[in-house]
Structure 1
Amino acid sequence: MMYIFASYIKVFLLLAGFRDVNAGSYVVLLIVVLVAAIGYIAFLHKQNREKQDHIEHKNREIKQLTHEFKLLSILANDTDNLVAVTNAEGQIDFANRVFREIFGISQKADISSKKIFDLPGFEKISEVFLESVRKKANTQTEFFISAGKGHRFWLQITISHAIFQAEHKVMVIATNINDLKFAEEEISQQSEELKVQSEQLEAMNTELEYVNQVTTDSINYAQRIQYAILPRPDDYLKHINDSFVMFRPRNIVSGDFYWYGEIDGKAFFVEADCTGHGVPGALMATIGNTLLNEIVVSEKHSNPAIILKELDRKIKSVLRQEAGLPDQQDGMDMALAQFDYETRELSVSIANQFVFFRHKGALIELEGSLFAIGGSDLHTKKPDFDLYRFKVEPGDVLYLFSDGYRDQFKEEEKEKMMYHRFKNIMQELGEHDFLKQKALLEKRFDEWKGRSRQIDDVLVWGIQF
């Protein structure tokens, strides 16, 4: 064997150009061959090591993917969602527990021969599925299915894509959104009901606006009538020196009114505060105005106390008020002054009010009877009204007023003006020329009231003799 190997070496040396082949040449060649063999062996070892590393890396990847797949399978089986993994054609590779239960597929059955959109109800996603695969784009859709065994669902379908071992895989996750859909339907139904109610309310509002406009127009017309029957300054200024009227209805028409009449050289001045305000008060004011014309102008009664008694009787008759019934209290408070412009004698009678009379520079308070005009008699006594008489001096002033001025609340406070503040204002009026008194009276009222709501009709009539 060694002889053959030596012969090969000798031939190789001769071919290589060595003419004198001796022992040294054999050694050199042997070394070269050994080095080449070692290099080749090293190359093969390296190549083998790289293959082993590659195999180990792939094994680790497969192990990791297997672990992740197991975790995914566990999670997919524990979820309440329907989960399936398919290939790009829809062939099912995996279906979780819920998916199988819904479609009546045994947990151990092989379903690799089924396509997902061949299952009952899932045919609806075929177009969406294939379009998603074609574009390799994640997709979400909703549809209703009936999967047998009474299973009826609104499902939200999410289709996503992954590459697993160079193969296109598609994950289909279906979430039961029945509760959401039922809530949407309920909200939609409620919205529809609200829409109908809104339309009904709008129609009612339109009707109410029309009724309100008609009512307001009627009340505005009533206001023109009420102002028409109130006395004009030309009627009474011919017998007195001067006068002012502060008249502010709380609403469009007023339950406060003032009246003037004259007979046989006597002038009559009346201020009245009727039960209520607005339309009810205005109706009472109309009744009072009509009866005063009847009693004074037609029947020629001139004594203020008698006029009040007669007015009380007629009010009760007109309103059919029966004695002892507390709910029949419609009527009015009133101050009535009679001025004999020939003798310059002033006679005043008052029903459930008081008045101020500035006589010779002094402010005098005239208290009225506790009896009002009209209303059911809760007293055993018949109404009786006191009579005040004065000899009028030039410059004397009589102030007639309802309770609306002094009952006004102060802005942002639960406090009325009340008697003492009102009297102070009346005292203050005496410090000013009569022509300026109305402006001062209105200024003090507006300062007190501010932006608060007016709570009652306001009437103040100043009469200067």
Structure 2
Amino acid sequence: MLDQSLLNQSRAGLSEIEAEYIASSLLRICPPVSPQQTNLEVTNLLNEHPDLISVAVIEDNKPIGLITRNIFMEGLAKPFHHDLFDRKSCIAFMDKDPLIVDNNMSIQELSFKVLGSGRKTLNDGFIIIDENGDYLGLGSGEDLVKVVSFLQAEKNRLVTESINYASVIQKSFLRSSREDMSAVLQDYFMHWEPRDKVGGDYYFCKKFDDGFFLALIDCTGHGVPGAFMTLIMASFLDHILVEDNRHDPAGALAIMNKKVKLALGQISQPAAEGFDSDRFSAKRNGQSDDGMDTAFCWVNTQNNTLTYAGAKTPLFYIDSTSSNMQLMEPDRKGVGYVDTPMDYEWTNQELLLDKGMCIYLTTDGLVDQIGGPKKIAFGKKRFSALLQDNYLKPMQEQEVIVMQAYYDYQGKQKRRDDVCLMGFRY
């Protein structure tokens, strides 16, 4: 009989649960019959055990067939069939080709076999044998469905718990950036919204005596793969900025590019000369193609300048003398990807900061979102117009306005990507 503990939530890992629930966990000890027994004896057995769905027929303790209650009873219910069959061998109503499975068979393999044998096995059950082929008992389709449903629920629970914990880890990596951002900026907002519990968008802020370094990062993918990439990038970025190259965002991008390409084995053949790529990745011909789009910014608070270098991520700004949104265009190469050369050089662009200037960065999850009546992308033009109309308001109020417009525009359309958006007033 199926153990009732199956229905209780287990704290074990999925592999331990799957190892526990094999064919033998579905075993019902059911009395068999032999070919020498009559149909009348089978009738009496079924009457004595109203819970029996089927009865195995065995010879020399080896199963040779299965008698199903419904078919058996329907057969004998026909006129004169009791007179004709009561004293004959029970094999007259026997299924000669039932599903027979080893007691150590995994639930997954058993499920495939049951599905392959069709509806008959789900309704009638199957025979379970030991390693010697001897009869042990029966299993039912109902119990199998319960176990499969339980394992699926456990799998979902374990995955959900893992993702929830990964979200805690990812948020903990962001905490120091939040703290530094609060320390160096008075009027700002940072909106970080993964499409799933975790995501591939990431932000970074680190303060120094002479200024602060800002980065908005959009890694390959979203969900768990994207989150793994953000942790890699965060680790690299933290190490890169130990040196004085924080003043040189383009140089920091170049270093990051080399680190990512080497770590992930994303090195084209010419670039790989002099490098042992096998040391970094088992992939050669089938290497990954992962990386990030990003904006690196160094804000020098001593001379009020912002130095920007962008890898496919623009910088938007509105100065204090004009309400027009202006754009600093990025380089068109992402960081770390296979098609980005190992020695690629990004470009620094400098912006003189005056009091009241507004700076904005966003990943493409916002501008690429499909929605609206025409089902087209939100777009940079709509984003810029929103900011132009509202830039005089406090930054946190601007955040609410932009995100509400985004949600309204998305409507019932599927969320395409993570969203990371920041703005600050100098």
- Matched position secondary structure for 2:257: helix
Distance 1:286 1:188, change over 3 A: closer
In the alignment, is the contact (CA less than 8 A) between 1:272 and 1:333 conserved in 2?
yes
Which residue of the partner structure matches residue 397 of structure 1? 358
Which residue of the partner structure matches residue 279 of structure 1? 224
Which sections of structure 1, spanning at least 5 residues, go unmatched? Answer: 1-139, 148-153, 155-177, 179-185
Which residue of the partner structure matches residue 171 of structure 2? 227
Which residue of the partner structure matches residue 169 of structure 1? none
Deviation at 1:142, TM superposition (A): 6.0
Deviation at 1:197, TM superposition (A): 4.1
The root-mean-square deviation of aligned C-alpha atoms, in Å, is: 3.2
Which residue of the partner structure matches residue 349 of structure 1? 309
Deviation at 1:358, TM superposition (A): 1.4
**Is residue 315 of structure 2 the alignment partner of residue 377 of structure 1?**
no
Which residue of the partner structure matches residue 185 of structure 2? 240
Distance 1:189 1:433, change over 3 A: closer
Distance 1:349 1:328, change over 3 A: same
Mapping of residues 357-368 of structure 1, within 5 Å: 357-360=317-320, 361=322, 362-368=324-330
Which residue of the partner structure matches residue 146 of structure 2? 202
Distance 1:437 1:213, change over 3 A: same
**C-alpha separation in 2, matches of 1:189 and 1:301:** 68
In the alignment, is the contact (CA less than 8 A) between 2:222 and 2:417 conserved in 1?
yes
Deviation at 1:419, TM superposition (A): 3.1
**C-alpha separation in 2, matches of 1:220 and 1:384:** 38
**C-alpha separation in 2, matches of 1:313 and 1:301:** 17
Deviations 1:363-418 (CA, angstroms, capped at 9, x unpaired): 11111001111011366x83221111111111111111100011212278743323
- Matched position secondary structure for 1:236: helix
One-letter amino acid matched to 1:458: V
Deviations 1:137-162 (CA, angstroms, capped at 9, x unpaired): xxx96635549xxxxxx9xxxxxxxx
**C-alpha separation in 1, matches of 2:180 and 2:122:** 66
One-letter amino acid matched to 2:359: L
Deviation at 1:189, TM superposition (A): 6.0
Q: Which moved more, 1:214-223 or 1:432-441?
A: 432-441
Of the candidates 196, 199, 202, which is equivalent to residue 251 of structure 1? 196
Which residue of the partner structure matches residue 233 of structure 2? 288
User: Larger relative contact order (C-alpha < 8 A, sep ≥ 6)?
Assistant: 2
Distance 1:187 1:267, change over 3 A: closer
**Is residue 294 of structure 2 the alignment partner of residue 334 of structure 1?**
yes
Larger proportion of helix: 1
In the alignment, is the contact (CA less than 8 A) between 1:249 and 1:256 conserved in 2?
yes
One-letter amino acid matched to 2:400: A
**C-alpha separation in 2, matches of 1:253 and 1:142:** 70
**C-alpha separation in 1, matches of 2:315 and 2:345:** 18
**C-alpha separation in 1, matches of 2:167 and 2:244:** 28
One-letter amino acid matched to 1:453: K
In the alignment, is the contact (CA less than 8 A) between 2:192 and 2:420 conserved in 1?
yes
In the alignment, is the contact (CA less than 8 A) between 1:412 and 1:452 conserved in 2?
no
Distance 1:363 1:378, change over 3 A: closer
**Is residue 350 of structure 2 the alignment partner of residue 409 of structure 1?**
no
Deviations 1:147-196 (CA, angstroms, capped at 9, x unpaired): 9xxxxxx9xxxxxxxxxxxxxxxxxxxxxxx9xxxxxxx98766225994
One-letter amino acid matched to 1:276: G
Deviation at 1:232, TM superposition (A): 4.7
**C-alpha separation in 2, matches of 1:190 and 1:200:** 8
Which residue of the partner structure matches residue 72 of structure 1? none
One-letter amino acid matched to 1:387: N
Of the candidates 386, 402, 406, which is equivalent to residue 425 of structure 1? 386
Deviation at 1:298, TM superposition (A): 5.0
Distance 1:219 1:355, change over 3 A: same
Matched-pair identity in %: 25
**C-alpha separation in 1, matches of 2:349 and 2:414:** 36
Deviation at 1:202, TM superposition (A): 2.7
- Matched position secondary structure for 1:339: strand
**Is residue 160 of structure 2 the alignment partner of residue 216 of structure 1?**
yes
Q: How many residues are matched?
A: 293
Of the candidates 111, 124, 129, which is equivalent to residue 192 of structure 1? 124
- Matched position secondary structure for 1:323: coil
Deviations 1:15-53 (CA, angstroms, capped at 9, x unpaired): xxxxxxxxxxxxxxxxxxxxxxxxxxxxxxxxxxxxxxx
- Matched position secondary structure for 2:202: strand
Which residue of the partner structure matches residue 143 of structure 1? 81
Please report the TM-score for the alignment, with normalisation by the length of structure 1: 0.57
**C-alpha separation in 2, matches of 1:387 and 1:367:** 11
Deviations 1:433-457 (CA, angstroms, capped at 9, x unpaired): 4341011011101101123332210
Deviation at 1:256, TM superposition (A): 0.1
Distance 1:335 1:445, change over 3 A: same
- Matched position secondary structure for 1:374: coil
Deviation at 1:268, TM superposition (A): 0.4
Deviation at 1:463, TM superposition (A): 1.8
Distance 1:190 1:267, change over 3 A: closer
**C-alpha separation in 2, matches of 1:364 and 1:259:** 23
**C-alpha separation in 2, matches of 1:409 and 1:334:** 22
Deviation at 1:329, TM superposition (A): 1.6
**C-alpha separation in 2, matches of 1:221 and 1:213:** 12
Deviations 1:46-70 (CA, angstroms, capped at 9, x unpaired): xxxxxxxxxxxxxxxxxxxxxxxxx
Mapping of residues 298-317 of structure 1, within 5 Å: 300-317=245-262
